Structure 1
Amino acid sequence: MTHTAVPETVHYTIQTSPIGQLLIAAINQEIVRVAFHNQDFDTVITGLQTQFGGPVHRDDNALQFATDQFEEYFAGTRYSFQLPTRQISPDRFNSQVQQRLTTIPYGQTRSYGEFATELARPGAARAVGSACARNPMPLIQPCHRVVRADGTIGDFSGTPAAKKYLLAFERGENPDAPTS
């Protein structure tokens, strides 16, 4: 975990979406975390306190700039997020993967192997999968667009049903909201 020299206040909001509630957290209007409903939000908040050394407060107004973009995304009118983010991974490869995720176009996918090759790391498909699993800002850094070589969805920090929904939604289908 990264510890900062000066404790920083984290603000968060909880937003309802077709894939369940999302916790969105930011420091000074830089997004640092997006968590899905299947992750224990109390544990996420405790982790943010530990990671940044300061208090964590719910402030829906402070994150309106972000929730507006999430609403547009789920309405089908936004295809990429234009939000300031703070890359916090101490591992260079994880950071490289997480930043590069934003280059996968809306409605398209890459296999873990293709993504590794794009990073000039052929053979690092498992490492790409691990970096996607540790992605602190899913949706903004769209790890759901990375799938297995055979086209099956693979793992996702939300739920498999949420990943399936997001992929179908981005392809222009009208998927049913996930129930799990």
Structure 2
Amino acid sequence: MNDDTDLERLHAGLVDRALGADLLDIAYRTLDSSLGTLLLAATPEGVLRVAFDTEGHDAVLADLAARVSPRVLHAPARLDAAARGLTDYLEGRVRSLDVPLDLRLLDGYRKEVVASLSQIAYGQVATYARVAELTGRPRAVRAVGSACAHNPVPLLLPCHRVVRSDGSEGGYRGGAAAKHALLDLEARTLHHTRT
């Protein structure tokens, strides 16, 4: 056997033992996509984090280890369904993703805002002010912007659909190009479906 095969076998055994002993708190994997390589991390409750290349995957994993649990392991199987769903979404085959989420990285109003993002329909946008209204706090526009900027599961809870009051796209955790690409994908998919 070669070194790579031995290493893969050892890693698979480690994952199996960690799962069997209930020692794996956070599983992660990467996903090559049209937006670059995405990092997906999940607890047994659901997807905890989706991170873009620009965020630095090692830094994201270190943050998860510090904030949630140091028991983090590359164990892609836990995230296979989420990875398939994201691939289908990014390739325009599906319009919604139904995967379990773990929003423990958020609390208070930020959690309320991020959870409300699922109300913005595919191919539609809402202003920060509109999202503030949806949460019952019409004056909390800045807080909505902050919550969107800290959304730990972009794509799964679509903060890319939140735009400025003047209609400009505004900022995005994955960068302006990623936000534009996502909005364009949804607009093209809707247009293609209607014609």
Q: CA deviation at 1:29?
A: 5.4
**Between Structure 1 and Structure 2, how many residues are aligned?**
168
| Uncovered stretches (5+) of structure 2, i.e. residues with no partner | 1-22, 190-195
- Deviations along 1:84-108, one digit per CA (max 9) or x if unpaired, are 0112145321111010001110000
- 2:102 pairs, out of 67, 86, 91, with 86
Q: Report matched runs for 1:67-106 at 5 Å.
A: 67-106=83-122
Between Structure 1 and Structure 2, the one with more helix by share is 2
- Deviations along 1:89-131, one digit per CA (max 9) or x if unpaired, are 4532111101000111000000001111121111211110000
Answer yes or no: is the 8 Å Cα contact 2:26–2:69 preserved in 1. Answer: no
Q: Call closer, same or farther: CA 1:73–1:92 in 2, change over 3 Å.
A: same
C-alpha distance in structure 2 between counterparts of 1:15 and 1:8, whole Å: 20
> TM-score under structure 2 normalisation?
0.82
CA RMSD of aligned residues (A): 1.6
Identity %: 37
Answer yes or no: is the 8 Å Cα contact 2:116–2:134 preserved in 1. Answer: no
> TM-score under structure 1 normalisation?
0.88
Answer yes or no: is the 8 Å Cα contact 1:115–1:128 preserved in 2. Answer: yes
Answer yes or no: is the 8 Å Cα contact 2:128–2:164 preserved in 1. Answer: yes
Answer yes or no: is the 8 Å Cα contact 1:33–1:136 preserved in 2. Answer: yes
> Which segments of structure 1 move beyond 4 Å, counting only runs of 4 or more?
none
Q: CA deviation at 1:172?
A: 1.0
C-alpha distance in structure 2 between counterparts of 1:126 and 1:27, whole Å: 30
Q: Call closer, same or farther: CA 1:72–1:20 in 2, change over 3 Å.
A: same
Answer yes or no: is the 8 Å Cα contact 1:9–1:56 preserved in 2. Answer: yes
Matching residue of 1:13? 29
Structure with larger RCO (C-alpha < 8 A, sep 6+): 1
C-alpha distance in structure 2 between counterparts of 1:29 and 1:114, whole Å: 30
Q: CA deviation at 1:62?
A: 2.4
Larger radius of gyration: 2
Q: Call closer, same or farther: CA 1:140–1:90 in 2, change over 3 Å.
A: closer
| Uncovered stretches (5+) of structure 1, i.e. residues with no partner | 1-6, 174-180
